[in-house]
Amino acid sequence: MKPEILLLEAMMPELEAKLDAAYIVHRPDSAPDKAAFIAALGPAVRGIVTGGGIGVSNAIADALPKLEIIAINGVGTDAVDLSRAKAHGVRVTNTPDVLTDDVADLGMALMLAASRQIPAGDRFVRDGRWAARESLPLAHKVTGKKLGILGMGRIGRAIGKRAEGFGMQIAYTDIRAFDDLPYRHVANLPDLARDSDILIVAASGGAQSRGIVNREVMDALGTHGILVNVARGSVVDEPALVAALQAGTLGGAGLDVFADEPNVPRELLAMGHVVLQPHRASATVETRLAMGELVLANLAAHFAGESLATPVV
Ligand code: 8YV
């Protein structure tokens, strides 16, 4: 008998085909009443596959008394209650490393897009304003600027490597300094922001980082400062961000993640100095395939009683 699993977020068709070959896959997205659909499955379900952003609510976990494993198709574990999983003997896996380069690449892309105002330039050409000999305000240089990185895990480090190529002056904050890094450690986030032209958020989400990019940090980054977030919306105080961008006390932003996805504050949609992405940092064919293969490997190992490829719990 194939194990039964619940697929909470769609994967690439070739990966879903592999899931279907090995498991009985239940897809609540196609059900009119998701909660009722999951409740009806009850003890049949032994595994969940989900995304890093959506995770698994405790209501869903509570409805599945025979749940054995949650395989996250992402690196972030903040949307899964790890203590609950531990207490219930539920294994949790994620997909580290394989998405590091893509997330760092998008961080750089958002920094460049916001600083060089690439979306505004694109609109300017498309709207015929270039042809009409209108002028577009000058943008801001990136090479040589001061970059602050919040969170020096795998992704923060990959951003640092790329920023070296842009001749940037790199500093970071994390809970501790890392001796193996050539960058300046700044213990305090507002101090880092004060001394940065661009601040890239690469810290994990969760209780420890909730709202730490607050008004004080944005004020410190200042009127010409740019905030880039490729981590989690929860790390940034979003109402404070909207207010700072509206008031012009913060220069601009490049955002891939938001507090209540897929809902983006209406005010941001109207702002020309903000570049928006729909939580897409790992969304390349190559990386989503590698992530999916890791999800499949973790599930296969679990159901074969072998050790997991990338366990979290
Ligand atoms: C993905 C993510 O978009 O890795 C994460 O934690 O949030 C992203 O890579 C997501 O997991 C896919 O849904």
Residue 280 Cα: closest atom of ligand 1: 3
Measured from CB, residues less than 6 Å from any atom of ligand 1 are 9, 51-53, 73-76, 99, 279, 282
Which of 91, 279, 288, 302 is catalytic? The answer is: 279
pLDDT at 141: 98
Query: How do residues 51-102 score in pLDDT, each as one tens digit?
Result: 999 999 999 999 999 999 999 999 999 999 999 999 999 999 999 999 999 9
How many whole angstroms from 206 Cα to the centroid of ligand 1?
14
How many whole angstroms from 27 Cα to the centroid of ligand 1?
19
pLDDT at 13: 98
Residue whose C-alpha is closest to residue 92's, from 71, 61, 64, 62? 71
Which of 26, 157, 232, 302 is catalytic? The answer is: 232
How many whole angstroms from 74 Cα to the centroid of ligand 1?
4
How many whole angstroms from 13 Cα to the centroid of ligand 1?
17
Strands 91-93 and 146-150: unpaired
Residue 73 Cα: closest atom of ligand 1: 11
Question: Is the predicted pLDDT of residue 30 greater than 90, yes or no?
Answer: no
Q: Within the chain, where are the H helices?
A: 13-22, 34-41, 58-62, 82-87, 100-115, 118-126, 154-165, 189-194, 215-221, 238-247, 266-269, 285-303
Mean pLDDT, range 121-144, rounded to an integer: 98
Strand partners of residue 4: 24, 45
Judge contact between 76 and 56, C-beta under 8 A: no
Query: How do residues 276-287 score in pLDDT, each as one tens digit?
Result: 999 999 999 999
CB-count burial class (<10 Å; 0-12, 13-18, 19+) for 133: exposed
Whole-model pTM over 0.95: yes
Query: How do residues 53-66 score in pLDDT, each as one tens digit?
Result: 999 999 999 999 99
How many whole angstroms from 133 Cα to the centroid of ligand 1?
43
* Shortest-distance Cα residue to atom 6 of ligand 1: 76
Q: How far apart are CA 300 and CA 292, in angstroms?
A: 12
Active site residue 279: yes
Judge contact between 12 and 289, C-beta under 8 A: yes
Active site residue 14: no
Mean pLDDT, range 181-200, rounded to an integer: 98
Structure tokens at 22: 């090995």
Q: How far apart are CA 5 and CA 2, in angstroms?
A: 9
Mean pLDDT, range 264-284, rounded to an integer: 97
Mean pLDDT, range 290-300, rounded to an integer: 98
Active site residue 261: yes
Mean pLDDT, range 138-161, rounded to an integer: 98
Mean pLDDT, range 130-156, rounded to an integer: 98
pLDDT at 114: 98
* Shortest-distance Cα residue to atom 13 of ligand 1: 51
Residue 279 Cα: closest atom of ligand 1: 3
Mean pLDDT, range 26-32, rounded to an integer: 94
Burial 186-201 (b: 16+ CB within 10 A, else e): beebbebbbbbbbbbb
